[in-house]
Structures are given as C-alpha cells and as structure tokens.
Structure 1
C-alpha cells in the first residue's frame, strides 16, 4: 500500500550554496569511531527522496568509515521492496551491514557522481541502470540551524534530551517523525548525526527505463525495516555510529576489509 501524500514539495525561498566545492574532493580513509565500542561512517548523501509515484531513492557517499570508503544507492518500490546497491569492496562493510535484513535485494553496482553546478548533482549507476539528477538549496532557517549544529560537540548526540530536540526540529522542517537513534534491521543500535542539511529542490530519476516522477512530501515517513527516512527530500552532511555487536568479528572485518 502506498504512503499517503501531502502533494508537491513546498517552494520556500532558497539561498545559493556551493556543495560541489565542499563535497567533491573529500579524502578517503579507514578511521576510528567517535566513541569507544562503536563503528562509524562519515560523509554525505541524500538521506531520502520520496517521489509522487511511490518510489523512494537514497544515496550514501562515505569516503571515511571503520572499514574504508564506499557509496550506495537505495531504492524502494511503490510496493515497499527495498534494494541497496554498493560501490565498494564488500556488502557487509557498507550499508547492507545495518539495513540488509530489510532488503529484498543487495548487490554491487558502479555508482558515479558528477557535479554539474554548485548545488546540482548527477548520479548514475550501471546495473540496474539509473540516471538521477537533483539540485539542493538552503533557506534562512536551515542556514541558522546548520550554523548552530556545526558548533555543538559530538557528545551532544549522546544526551537523549538533545537528540529528542533535534527530532522535534526535524518535524518542524517537514521531515516527519525521524528517529536519530534506534535499532537497525541488523540489530545494531545506531545514531545518525547530520551536521548540515539542505532541501532537495528538484530531482528527476529514471531507473531501468521507468521515470520515478516528481519529488513530493509524504504524510508518513517511508521506512526501511523500522527505521524512518525523511518525509521529503533532504541532502545531509555528517556521520553515523553504531554499537559494535561482536568485537571479535568487528576486528576481523577491519583487518580484512577487502575479503568477499
């Protein structure tokens, strides 16, 4: 069954931004999580983008993580079936590590990114074939919130009252009922920590010959497993951290990040 929809995305006054300069040349690294006993991924992506056809896309670009760099494209059909495609050495060191149990399909694909303007991006994928273009913008409210968020310490994400405050702010921004901390489909307890957010102003996507329609804002958040994604298109810069479930297996995976 399709999510109920609240129509087209509102047209708030936008402010010019230059994301291409900020995001196109990020160094790759296999680093350490911000907190003991956690694994992490750091970078940016389209947190979620619902279309009026019922399809949903998402993009993750993590040049830095506990296991090394990777990119992923997520797709949900109008019927609710999720797929995650990984451009990286392993599925279990990328997004399927946390969200794979909620997917019908996980696999490898070549994901290419091209900045066509300061805030305009083209995403292509080989199989399945994807041609996805989008542009992002900010508003005076988002600009003020981003400035405040970047000066708050990472420790502020460990205080439940501050996390709830951020979730309430997300609702005020039209993102619906997000949960920044929760249990992933894999059983990992994770915290999503966006530092900067920008609205997706416009987008078009064609997946294996199917036009996915126009961006929209939903009345109910799309979910992957029990994890809600934004009710409207949002591009976010930040990181995520998940509690290590099995320290021995975690260290073995870090030691051999390229094994299939």
Structure 2
C-alpha cells in the first residue's frame, strides 16, 4: 500500500515542484560598456566608438512595449516586441528594426550590415532622473577614460595636477572649469575625424583637438580652415598641453 501511495503522489509532487521560468525583464537603463572598457585602455576615442557600435544607451520599458535609444547625435524611440525567449525586436514604425538579445547579464544588440554588434550592461551609477539622454553613458565614459589625476608635463601650469570629473567639471587646467568629449555627430565631422573636446569656463568654451596615447594625452590648438560663413573645418595646430595620467 505504501508503494502504491507513493507512486500515486509522485505526479502531484513533480507538478508542485516544477515551474516555468519567467521571461527576463530587461526594463531600465543599459549602457555600451564594451565601448567604455576599450576606451579606458587609452585608445583614440572616436575609433573606439565606431568599432563598438552606434548606440550608447538603451532605456527600455518592456511592459509598455517601448525602447528608447541614444547615440552621439540623436535620440529616438521604437516599439518593443518579444520575438523568442530572451530575444526582442525594436521596430521604428517601419523605418528599420534592431534585434536585442539578453544572455543573463548583458544586453546584446545584433550586428547589422553597416554597424557592429554592441554589448550593453546595467550602469553602476545611473544619472539623476530628468538628466538628458546619454548622460549615464557619458559620465561612465568620463570616469573611465579621463578619471584620476593628470599631471601637466608641458604647457601652461607645468607640474600642476589636473582632474577631469565624471560630471564634466574640471580643475587645474588654466582657467577652464568644464569639459566635454566629442562622441560623434557634428563635432566629429568638423574635426575631420580627429578626437576633439571642448574646454570652457561658464558659458564660454573653445574646441580643442586631443591625441591619446595610453596614459599620455596631447591637447592641441584646433585651427579652423573654413571661411567665417562656412561650417568649421578643424585641423591640428600647435600643442598647448601634454598631460600624463598618474
């Protein structure tokens, strides 16, 4: 009798212990961490971003079926729909699609004809609510690429320490108190593919060309070869500073 009872209960026990795994919730913010990690090695910035894909951030509302993206020159929105377990399609109202895969830790944007595949991860420190799109990626990049103390090896203030903060504030580099790296778009076009950044104080800023070699960075004057009524065309000029990351 005991044996028959055990056999009769076994299907119930199996049914009670088994469960169907819930589908992944990919809602929230994701940043292109692969691009940040590669840039942090001291590589040329625009080449790194180009090699690691176009998009810098995804902000996803899976329940609402929305996926917002941002890159260096635009932000947009698509409709999110599930394609298979762990796979989603983002549809831009008939103007193309993107495919996203979740592998348990990372969100992977599938490669397309003209764009490399991209790897996104949850940010360690999301930007405050209400910040402009792309701020979380930019601050993470600033911290990884420009973080720590730098020493002026050549140029005005030689021997001084320079600090580039994640929020874009700056100290120790002449009168400048803020900076912004060019991540693409018009600033990259005007710089003819050279890496550029803006340095400024208050509402006034100038564009400079920089060249990164590992822990050393040259900041060069940007010479504009365009006419006053033309779009700027910047070329490297004399070196203003040589910095070394400590």
- TM-score in terms of structure 2 length: 0.27
Specify the structure having the higher radius of gyration (Cα).
2
- The two structures have a TM-score, normalised by structure 1, of 0.26
Tell me which of the two structures has the higher relative contact order, counting C-alpha pairs closer than 8 angstroms and 6 or more residues apart: 1
